[in-house]
Chains A and B, each alone.
Chain A
Amino acid sequence: MTAMDTEQKVMTEEVLNKYELVIGLEIHAQLATKTKIFSSDPAFFGAEPNKHTTPVSLGLPGTLPKINEEVVTCAVKLGLATHCKINLVNRFDRKNYFYADLPKGYQITQDELPICQKGFIVINLKDKEEKKIRLNRIHMEEDAGKSMHDKDDRYSLIDLNRAGVPLLEIVSEPDLRSAEEAAAYLSEVRRIVRYLDVCDGNMEEGSLRCDANISVRLKGAAEYGCRCEVKNLNSIRNLQRAVNYEFRRQVQLIESGERIDQNTLNFDAATGVTSVLRSKEMALDYRYFPEPDLPPLHLSQDWVDELRKELPVLPEQRIKRYTSELGLSEYDASLLTNDRSVADFYEELISVSSNYKSAANWVIGPVQSLLNESGKEISELGIPASAIAEIIQLVEEGKVNNSAATQQIFPVLTASPGKQVNEIARELNLFIDTNEDDLDAFIEQAVSKYPDKVVEYNKGKKGVLGLFMGELMKVSGGKIDPKTANKLLISKLESLK
């Protein structure tokens, strides 16, 4: 155990409570475009090293960049979805630095005049409160290649497949005040980019990467503290860990009268500790200047308006509608909207079924578990929303009971999505056709099996009702209407008092 760890332990909650965190995130979203940002080589992840290269992405002498319009479209869509001002004239700049995986010796990015500025993203906090996180900018840039220093004894290996893959950098204002807020913001960004279909949001593969600018200050202070930038946080959990670690570290330094250096830090996911990557003195002068190989980009307002019309309904808007108009809980609404295709499926379902709550339960429950188990996309399942609507209706009308629907009809429907729901119920003999006499006989059977539970019930332990219902289902083979059965069971039990 290091001295630092010991000291951190003695820091009381009281001390920590005097301080607040100030966090701003820089998120890099790798775009799911077919080709790279300035050349025609494929941009997707996972090819053999150095297969996705052309003279342009290799930075060979005489090559020039050419903007991929798909990237501009993605940037504008994300800008519109996050309430940004779209700069109809924007410009690329060169950021100059030497590194082995940067073939041109500079990165083409947007410095002075980015495509999107001054937006915001709304995040939902635990206590149902909403918070607006302001965006400073969203800009387009190219990714660098990858250096691998641990694959060979003597050499570093370089893979340039990623060099020139398009990125959108989303820069927030320092509006986040806790690790939870930072996490909520990052997951909201991820949800939005996935909704817009601009980025797959996969943090493990690095298609979404996050750097955090973290500082602390005494609560109520007007000035920001000195910030540190923590690089390459590759999961929401690691972002939270790094933030919490930095909070304690920085408070510790301030409390012991020391200075916080404006450093660039690395976060070690194995140990949960940050360490200095570059000190301020080592900070590079990137010598930004306008990229002379690309004229300024001129966008037309009409085109931007067109994109605005095509924008999908965003999770934020859907959650609002589901809770206020459809009466769903915040939690259910959030689960439904996490994935755009799932939310779209729910939308389709409620266009043919007005039982919004049951529809939500079906999507969050059986449908979602099936997606999780199979690892498939909802479109790959091939189950029509109308079939789910039919099942819901059968249950609602008391024709089939719910457990039979989820446990028996749904699996068959999954296996043969084209099959009629009614037909499945008929084949499995699930239609409730039990008359009251049969039902009485089943109740008699169930009640006589557990005489001691009858006594318990009548002593006030209403919970045992479930046990009797379970037994009823078993003896009837599920073919009873739970509502009627429940009613008759209660009067039977009451009569035995």
Chain B
Amino acid sequence: MEKYTTLSSVQQDIKDSKLHLRQLVEAYLQRIEENKHLNAFVEVFAEEARSQAEIVNSRLLDGTAGKLAGMVIGIKDLICYQNHIVSAGSKILDNYRSVFSSTVVERLLAEDAVIIGRQNCDEFAMGGSNENSFHGPVKNNADNSRVPGGSSGGSAVAVQAGLCMASLGTDTGGSVRQPAAFCGVVGLKPTYGRVSRHGVIAYASSFDQVGPITNSVEDAALLLEVIAGHDEYDSTSSTLPVPAYTQQLDFSGKKRIAYLPETLTSEGLDPEVKALTEKTIKELQEAGHAVEPISFPYLDFVVPTYYILTMAEASSNLARYDGVHYGYRSPNATDLESTYKKSRSEGFGAEVKRRILLGSFVLSAGHYDAFYGKAQRVRRVIREKTDEILQDHDFILLPTTPGPAFGIGEKTDDPVTMYLADIFTVQASLAGIPAISLPLGETKTNLPLGIQLIGKRFGESELLAFSKYILNVTKSR
């Protein structure tokens, strides 16, 4: 079967009776089966997907179908779906079944998406390589010895390998954009507050956002259009109306774009990434856009600031997994204290424990001001500086990652190096603004590379339109 890259072509073929949605679902199920070695899916909802496909197919034919009819989508194993297991990639929630659906899942279903399964990820979204999953590492489909990125690694590989048409991941410090870059697909992190977090297992509440991982900007726009918008269950969700992103994808005119010279001289930047970034800048300049260097002197501070704040929030967010009310309880527990200690020691993986410990430390009485308090203030400075750049410029352009996908096991012994790999994605997370990773190139060894565009707060419409334009400009290379 033909590999569909956009939803509109699927819908057209179904309407023309060239395709039955059931066939498409079967094809994806088969591909998932054939690519089991990638470990992208933790669980496949095969029967449900089949029966949903029947229903949606007839709706498409009689003209009553929703916007996502024909979309076969996977969801990160961090997003609650009623009566389905959601494990957050952790032993502590292994076999935990959610009694309610997240708002994003409800909105997907309301528009007739077919949810085909839940996708592997780093435990509680903590990681940039998908090596921290209780369900084992995920492999990059471009090179099986390499990581897919993380934490939404399974979600990115699933799209990359054609195991589904799109995925919903979550992005706290780059967890949608970075695996999208490593896997050669599109990954969008919306503005903080644009998409409801209700039913999304929290890692760091003031950063977490659900974002689509897709083959095309069009699909990303469509998914965002469906999942975005105010939700009474999430007090941090914005009440701003949701634009019709899909109707605003046509771009014309000239833009002012900033690039940060610090990113191009940053230590550990892969020469091929640097070259791709410079090439993209040049192409945009040649197309008549103003692309200019704007200094961002805080680049060295983004990673420590990000980790202090997210670990602090995580230490509190993960306190509920205590073996008392649900999830894993150690069989060796004898009283309340040993229930806590043993269940948490046995239930959490090493990286999660590291972040809980560090997070508890930075919030503790003697260290709060020096770490958490200071990081809060630095976050404000970073946000203000970034907003300031975006007052005079439409976008900021920078690499998504310092290098292409690295080898499985290559960085697992060195958490600091692993954290530093987030240097280009955490700025938008700290500022709470939208950013997208676009598959704009490859290394000589055919590993995908991503370029990132950061947009204005709630400026997803412009960001998406320009992203589609860039993909077209660079296609002609």
User: A residues touching B (Cβ–Cβ < 8 Å)?
Assistant: 55, 58-67, 94, 96, 98, 100, 103-106, 156, 158, 285, 287-289, 292-295
Contacts and interface: CB of A to CB of B under 8 A. Distances in A.
A66 B365 contact: no
Given A58-B325, A104-B319, A287 B80 contact: no
Interface stretch (B91-99, B145-153, B391-399): B91-99
A55 B100 contact: yes
B200 A98 contact: no
A204 B185 CA distance: 63
B308 to A, nearest CB: 11
Most B CB within 10 A of own CB, among A60, A61, A100, A104: A61
Nearest to B336: A100
B454 interface: no
Contact of A61 (B93, B232, B313): B93
B206 A292 contact: yes
A66 B336 contact: no
Interface string B196-208: 0111111011100
A405 B419 CA distance: 87
Contacts of B315: 96, 287
Given A61-B80, A62-B202, A294-B236, 6 more contacts: A61-B96, A96-B319, A103-B320, A287-B316, A292-B205, A292-B313
Contacts of A156: 336
Interface in B308-341: 312-313, 315-316, 318-322, 324-326, 336, 340
Contacts of A65: 235
Per CB-CB distance, the 5 closest pairs between chain A and chain B, nearest first, are A105-B319, A292-B205, A287-B363, A292-B206, A62-B199
Most A CB within 10 A of own CB, among B232, B319, B368: B319
Interface string B54-83: 000000000000000000000000011000
A481 B328 CA distance: 84
Contacts of A66: 232-233, 235
A98 to B, nearest CB: 6
A120 to B, nearest CB: 31
Contacts of A288: 363
16 contacts: A59-B320, A61-B201, A62-B79, A62-B80, A64-B233, A64-B235, A66-B232, A66-B233, A66-B235, A94-B316, A104-B319, A104-B320, A287-B360, A289-B372, A293-B236, A295-B236
A294 B319 contact: no
Interface of B: 79-80, 86, 88, 93, 96, 98-100, 102, 197-202, 204-206, 232-236, 312-313, 315-316, 318-322, 324-326, 336, 340, 360, 363-365, 368, 372
A227 B193 CA distance: 45
Contacts of B198: 62-64
B336 A289 contact: no
Contacts of A60: 98-100, 326
Contacts of A98: 319, 322, 340
B464 to A, nearest CB: 26
A360 to B, nearest CB: 50
A427 B253 CA distance: 98
Most B CB within 10 A of own CB, among A96, A287, A293: A287
Nearest to A98: B340
A287 B199 contact: no
Given A104-B320, A106-B319, A289-B363, A61 B233 contact: no
Nearest to A289: B363
A59 B325 contact: yes
Nearest to B312: A289
Contact of B316 (A55, A100, A289): A289
A55 B93 CA distance: 16
Contacts of A63: 198-199
Contacts of A105: 316, 318-320, 322
Nearest to B196: A64
B343 to A, nearest CB: 11
A294 B363 CA distance: 19
Most B CB within 10 A of own CB, among A55, A64, A156: A64
Contact of B364 (A55, A58, A64, A287): A287
A61 B78 CA distance: 9
Contacts of A64: 197-198, 233-236
Contact of B324 (A61, A100, A106, A287): A100
A25 B368 CA distance: 28
Most B CB within 10 A of own CB, among A66, A67, A289, A293: A289
A55 B99 contact: yes
A285 B365 CA distance: 6
A110 to B, nearest CB: 15
A333 B418 CA distance: 73
Contacts of B322: 98, 105
A448 B88 CA distance: 100
A66 B321 CA distance: 21
B263 to A, nearest CB: 28
Nearest to A158: B324
A336 B340 CA distance: 53
B316 A96 contact: yes
Most B CB within 10 A of own CB, among A55, A67, A295: A55
Nearest to B318: A105
A94 B317 CA distance: 10
Nearest to A95: B316
A235 to B, nearest CB: 29
B371 to A, nearest CB: 11
Contacts of B99: 55, 60
Contacts of A103: 320, 324-325
Nearest to A294: B235
Contacts of A292: 204-206, 236, 313
Contacts of B197: 64
A58 B320 CA distance: 10
B227 to A, nearest CB: 15
A104 B322 CA distance: 9
A440 to B, nearest CB: 83
A100 B200 CA distance: 24
A59 B317 CA distance: 10
Contacts of B235: 64-67, 293-295
A56 to B, nearest CB: 8
B435 to A, nearest CB: 20
A284 B316 CA distance: 15
Contacts of B236: 64, 292-295
A62 B320 contact: no
Contacts of B80: 61-62
Contact of A293 (B86, B205, B364): B205
A179 to B, nearest CB: 33
A287 B325 CA distance: 23
Contacts of B364: 285, 287
Contacts of B340: 98
B216 to A, nearest CB: 29
Contact of A106 (B102, B316, B372): B316
A104 B88 CA distance: 17
Contacts of A158: 324
Contacts of A293: 202, 205, 235-236
